[in-house]
Amino acid sequence: MNDATGGPRARAGGTASAVAARISLPTYDVTVAPGSLDSVGDVARRVAPAHRYAVVTDGNVGPLYARRVVESFAGEPLHVVDIPAGEAQKTRANWGQVTDALLDAGCGRDTTIVALGGGVVGDLAGFVAATFMRGVPYVQVPTTLLAMVDASVGGKTGVDTPAGKNLVGAFHQPVAVIVDPAVLATLPLAHRRAGLAEALKHGIIADAGYFDRTAHDPDSLWIGAESDRVTALIARSIEIKADVVRRDEREGGLRKVLNFGHTLGHAIEAASGYALLHGEAVAIGMVLESELAERAGVADAGTAMRIREAVQRVGLPIDRPRAVEASSLLAATRGDKKARAGSAEYALPRRIGAMAGEERGWGIPVDERLVLEVLA
């Protein structure tokens, strides 16, 4: 095992080639290990003992993995709540339905919630945990690559509204995050690729070597879901994000760098009617925002091309949907939660491995005419 300052090493026992890592944040640990899905009950009982446990999952993940998680609790009182799958389900209405289901099941303040699923389930179940009985503990068990490397860590919870993504929510840290890379074996290829967008983002933010390794020979990543390379990729991405979150838990400054690709990405995702996966929209957002950084004189020459080539190499889109007007996307950025005084602020790279804007608090205002030029 390792802490956040060291690299992952082989774990004793289990699959001989498997890599395991433990990354520590101030109030919880993130465990990355093949086969760890079967330890969810043990971990939950240790870090958040409860009178009753509730597993929130969706129609895709539940049939595959809910039974294993339930069995890991060895007969503890447990209630399973299913929601339909998909970003369109991350709503206030479903927040209410999950909350009502917990109340109907007799759950009280002595309840611990387990979020079993991708980013939608994690965000929604986390928001339920943040607000149910004014806050109960929850354990994140991410089952998509995107949720593993990004969404499950950092304590951002919330739901979407017609006005935009994640506009209603709360900071509520999990008590544990359990990542089992073996479950990626059942994840569709498009969703695996979408998760690489956030991994590339972390490399752009803080680690040029990691960026290059992630983009190199991406097809080989999927040769064995328990491969050392996949598990190490997940662990390093979590380490990068955890380091940022430790230093700025509530996004008052440095944590804004994690929004690279998301200002335009969120607008594109919503404009697609969520037909684009989150990672696909973020990939397009990173390509556009890196071009914006160069045109604004913020990024070193060639940065945008390296990002574009890497995004394309891992099989993600690089162009915005042409059916949506550039002016409509620009208008959507003004309603983004990162906007200030009616204008969007951007997290922009200086080069691969380093972000610009420290002197401005890591949020950079950009002339909207320049944004329209890039979108066009």
Each residue of 98-108: pLDDT tens digit?
999 999 999 99
The phi, psi pair for 161, rounded to 5°, reads: -135, 170
> Does residue 148 have a pLDDT over 70?
yes
266 a catalytic residue:
yes
289 a catalytic residue:
no
Per-residue pLDDT averaged across 31-50, rounded? 96
Encode pLDDT of 169-190 as tens digits: 999 999 999 999 999 999 999 9
pLDDT at site 342: 64
71 a catalytic residue:
no
Residue of 11, 192, 266, 320 with catalytic role = 266
Encode pLDDT of 126-142 as tens digits: 999 999 999 999 999 99
Encode pLDDT of 60-81 as tens digits: 999 999 999 999 999 888 999 9
The residues, any chain, with a CB within 8 Å of residue 297's CB and separated by 6 or more, are none
90 a catalytic residue:
no
Residue of 60, 94, 166, 259 with catalytic role = 259
Residue of 236, 278, 308, 320 with catalytic role = 278
Q: Which position has the higher pLDDT, 219 or 174?
A: 174
156 a catalytic residue:
yes
pLDDT at site 228: 81
Residue of 262, 306, 308, 320 with catalytic role = 262
Per-residue pLDDT averaged across 21-47, rounded? 96
Residue of 79, 165, 191, 241 with catalytic role = 241
What's the Rg (C-alpha) of the chain? 20
Residue of 134, 322, 340, 369 with catalytic role = 134
Residue of 11, 172, 192, 255 with catalytic role = 255
Per-residue pLDDT averaged across 362-371, rounded? 94
Encode pLDDT of 159-172 as tens digits: 999 988 899 999 99
Residue of 156, 172, 191, 236 with catalytic role = 156
Residue of 198, 226, 239, 345 with catalytic role = 198
Cα 206 from Cα 332, distance rounded (Å): 28
Encode pLDDT of 110-119 as tens digits: 999 999 999 9
Rounding to the nearest 10 degrees, give the CA dihedral for residues 326, 151, 222, 352: 60
> Does residue 10 have a pLDDT over 60?
no
Q: Sorting pLDDT into bands at 50, 70 and 90, what band is 319?
A: very high
46, 49, 240, 260, 363 from 360: Cα distances, Å: 42, 43, 22, 15, 6
Which of 13-27, 43-57, 243-257 shows the lowest per-residue confidence on average (mean pLDDT)? 13-27
The phi, psi pair for 332, rounded to 5°, reads: -65, -30
198 a catalytic residue:
yes
State the chain's mean pLDDT as an integer: 91
pLDDT at site 227: 72
241 a catalytic residue:
yes
Confidence (pTM)? 0.90
pLDDT at site 339: 62
